[in-house]
Every structure is written in structure tokens, then in C-alpha cells.
Structure 1
Amino acid sequence: MTLAGKTAVITGSNSGIGLGIAHELARAGADVVINSFTNRDEDHALAADIAAQHGVTVRYVQADMSAGDACRKLIAQAGACDILVNNAGIQHVAAIEEFAVDKWNAIIAINLSSAFHTTAAALPMMRAKGWGRVVNIASAHGLTASPYKSAYVAAKHGVVGLSKVTALETAGAGITCNAVCPGYVLTPLVEAQIPDQMKKHSMDRETVIREVMLDRQPSRQFATTTQLGGTVVFLCSPSADQITGTTISVDGGWTAL
């Protein structure tokens, strides 16, 4: 299966899950637009490196996903959007009565509203071609909940609902929309937390991963960014033409509990 001739726009993709998805879509032959809120030389160098590895065109476009106009401008600057992966997200942990309002607003804007704005801008391009894929990166927390993550859980539940509505509005138009729900994924951000957890719990690396960090993930294994990228590529394949309006969990059994 090749995605040659397709253009994929991936929000929040200069690291972690988004970067893994960018690599796998490029490996499948898609031209790629990666994105984050910074505009550094290394961001553009990263795009050039992905292009060199996979022999496709890759551009970096800066856009602040907390601003609706910027989200829509990202799609316009991409020039084409056959595949849209809404991945941008942030997190903050606090009890509801102590949850800072600015943190709530930022999480809802970046994790949920940005997906609405980019989708609204991309759908006319997809309808014009009679083909499109919208893949929203939700979370296991789009299907279940944890304490102290009110904004994140609310946003990710919203992403799942938005995915269903998008699927219904595009059914029969050659466009699909689905939500991928990862559990814990081994990203640089998570990797950086391991030494602190080892110190806090007086455990070795493998024990703290298995017993603390992956306590809710029955497989006791992290998902990888490559696996998430492969899931997105599958959803863009002909095998997934009739998969729309649903969730795919990549969570080691978390939501089966």
C-alpha cells in the first residue's frame, strides 16, 4: 500500500507520537507537513531529515494550536490536505477545585478545539478530491477517566465525540474519521520521567516501569510511536475504507479492564 501523491498534515509533530506518525506516513510515501508552535532552525532541519530518510517532500509549518485562526491557516499553508492527523496536546494535573482556569482553557483549546478548526478547514479539500482521512489522536482517557485530569479527560472525550460527528457528516463521500486511543507511549517526555520515578520509589528502571508507570496497562509494556504511526497508516489504507466513526485502542488492554 502506498500513499504516494497524498499530503498529510500532522499537528504537534516535531517530537513524540506526532513525529513517529510523520515518519510512518512518509515511509508509506506521503508528503508530510509537520507542525509545532516553535519556529527554530532545528524544526526545519527535522523536516529535511524526514524527507531525506524517506524520499518524500516534508515541510515544517509553525502554528499555535491554541488559536483557531492559526489552526485554519496551517491547513491553508499546507496547500493540500488528504490526510489530517490531529495530534497536538498538552497536559496539566490538579484537583478540580484547584485547577487553574488558564490551564483548563489552554488544554481545551489545544487538545480539542484545534481539531475542530483544522478539520473544518481540511474537509473542503478532501470533498473536492472525493477522498480523505481524518485521524484524531485521542487517548485511553477518551474512553475512561483518572482523577486530577479533568481538562485532559474532558478534551479527549470530546475528541472521540467530534470524530463520530465528522464520520457521520462525511459518510459516503470517500472520507473517514476515526480516533486512535493510546495508553502510555514511550516518548522522550515519558522517558525523562523514569529516573525521577526510580528515585521516588527506590526501584530499578524495569520495576518502576512495570509496577508504577504501567500499573493500569495490563501488558506492562509501553506502546511505541512506531506502532501508533503504523495504526494511522492502516487507517489510511483501502483495508480501512469502511472503518469510520470509531475508536482504535492501542493501550495494552487498559480499557478492557
Structure 2
Amino acid sequence: MSLADKVLAGQGALVTGSTSGIGLGIARIFAQAGAKVMLNGFGKPEEIAAARAEIGALMGVTEAPYSSADMSKPAEIRAMVAEAQAALGSLDILVNNAGIQFVAPVQDFPEEKWDAIIAINMSSNYHAIKAALPAMLARSRGRIINVASAHGLVASPYKSAYVAAKHGVVGITKSIALEVAQSPITCNAICPGFVRTPLAEAQVAPLAAKFGISEESALRDRLLEKQPSKRWIEVEDVARMALYLVGPGSGSVNGAALSIDGGWLAA
């Protein structure tokens, strides 16, 4: 599928958590493929402005539309979906990507962190899908992608809330897929391993210092311990998987939890 073909021309896409990292990568490739994209997420004002300008330039406008909706607040999610439908003309593609992380043994895990992770990483998917799906059904067109994680399929210690939320994301993906199975709409999940993003890369130096090892060893033997490739997953690889799922030829892929994890689930 060539980006020059503009296979998403005329389609509107909302990508949550898209001011950086995976979400921005997905927004970028969608805009390159001709979609009108609304961004969402937190960050420094100058970083958000830069993201809006970059995606806007790909769309041929000054800046991409943007929502500051807090993914832990259902009313703001509903308003964001309505705003996207108005700004884009239609909402044909919904990518639920927003997420946060916290690591601690369960007995020390702060309850407010648990609640926030469940709300942002999982419940926000439900609220966004519920708000967006009626219009998709009315138009008989729509693609929903939930960005889960390898941790939506397997577990690791000290990440109880994140693992629970991402398992829930895979579950809701399958359930929604069955509900829309007889329509032209699909709902799928992408399950990445460790992706090279600024937030992930920032974990390497503290690990090296903690264990008194080189950053190369910290990356290979600690952070990527369960990723057999011992290499980062690249943002563009995840974005291209998303492009396939919303592009032509993917209509029979529904309810799938697609791994992109350097062999993690094969081990």
C-alpha cells in the first residue's frame, strides 16, 4: 500500500494520545495517506503546536484540529468525538491509543494510580467507541483500532493495573468486533512490545545506573529482557500496521489482537 495512493482520502480520523510517540506516528501516516486527522493528548504547549503544524502540513492546512480532552473523563471524551465529527466532516476511523503507566508491587500500588490507569488505558476505549459507533453504523463505514500491548496478552510483575487494563482492551475489542461483524465496520487491537519512543528510551539510563551496567546492557538484558529480537519496535512499524487495518483489503480482519513484539509472544 503506497502512501502516494492517498488510500484514506476523504476520511476523518481521531487518534487519542497523539501528541507524541505511537499516536503521533499513526496520525502522521494517516495524514500522509490522505486522511483528515484530529489530534488529542497532553504535553507542553510548544510540543502540541509543533505536532499540529506537522500533521496540518501533511493535510494541506495550517494546523490539524486538536482536542485537549482528558481521557479519564467520559463527558470530555463524548465532547471530543462530537467535535471530531464536526471538524472532520465524518469520523470514519477511531484509534484509541492514550495510555499511562506506573510500576510497583501490588501491595504498594497506589489506589489512585490503579484508578487512573484503568480509566485512561481501558475505560476511555469504551466511552470513545460508544460515542463514535452510532454514526459509523448509520453510514455503514468505520474502522476502530485499540492500541493494546504485549501486556494485553501476557503479564509481567509490578504492572498489575497496566496488564489488567490492556487485557481489558483486548477483551472489549473482541466483543465490539462480534457486535459489528455483520456490518462493514471492524474493530481490532494492536499489541506492541517495547516501542522506541522518548518515554521508553528515558527508562534506559536509570536502569543502567540502578544495576551498574552499560546502557546497551540495560536495554538488551533488562528493558528488552522478554523481547527476543533485543531491538526496539519502531513507531513507523506500528503505524504501518494501523494503516493496513484501516485501508483497503482489511475488511475481513475483525476482532484480532495483532502482535508486533519482536517475537515476545513466540517465546
TM-score by length of 1: 0.95
In the TM superposition, residue 46 of structure 1 has moved relative to its aligned partner by 1.8
1-side partners of 2:42 and 2:73: how far apart? Answer: 11
Superposed, which structure 2 residues align to 1:32-47 within 5 Å? 32-37=37-42, 40=45, 42-47=47-52
Does structure 2 conserve the Cα–Cα contact (< 8 Å) formed by 1:13 and 1:22? yes
Give the 5 Å matches for 1:178-193.
178-193=188-203
The CA RMSD over aligned residues, in Å, is: 1.6
Query: Is the contact made by 1:44 and 1:59 (CA closer than 8 Å) also made in structure 2?
Result: no
Which deviates the most, 181-190 or 55-64? 55-64
How many equivalent pairs are there? 257
Q: Residue 161 of structure 1 aligns with which residue?
A: 171
Structure 2 residue ranges without an equivalent (≥5): none
Aligned equivalent of 1:64: 70
* Equivalence for 1:30: 35
Match of 1:247 among 235, 247, 257: 257
**Alignment partner of 1:85: what SS?**
strand
In the TM superposition, residue 39 of structure 1 has moved relative to its aligned partner by 8.0
Unaligned runs of 5+ in 1: none
Q: What pairs with 1:70-85 in structure 2 (closer than 5 Å)?
A: 70-79=76-85, 80-85=90-95
Q: 1:10 to 1:229 in 2, by over 3 A?
A: same
- State which of 5, 18, 21 in structure 2 corresponds to 1:16: 21
8 Å Cα contact 2:16-2:97 kept in structure 1: yes
2:131 is matched with 121
1:22 partner amino acid:
A
Q: TM-score, normalised by structure 2?
A: 0.92
Question: How far did 1:211 drift?
Answer: 1.6
Q: Report the CA distance between 1:198 and its aligned residue.
A: 2.6
Distance 1:201 1:97 in 2: 24
Identical counterparts, % of pairs: 50
Contact 2:35-2:59 at 8 Å conserved across structures: no
Displacement of 1:96: 1.6
Amino acid at match of 1:12: G
| CA displacement 1:120-158 (0-9 Å, x = unmatched) | 011012112211000000000000001111111110000
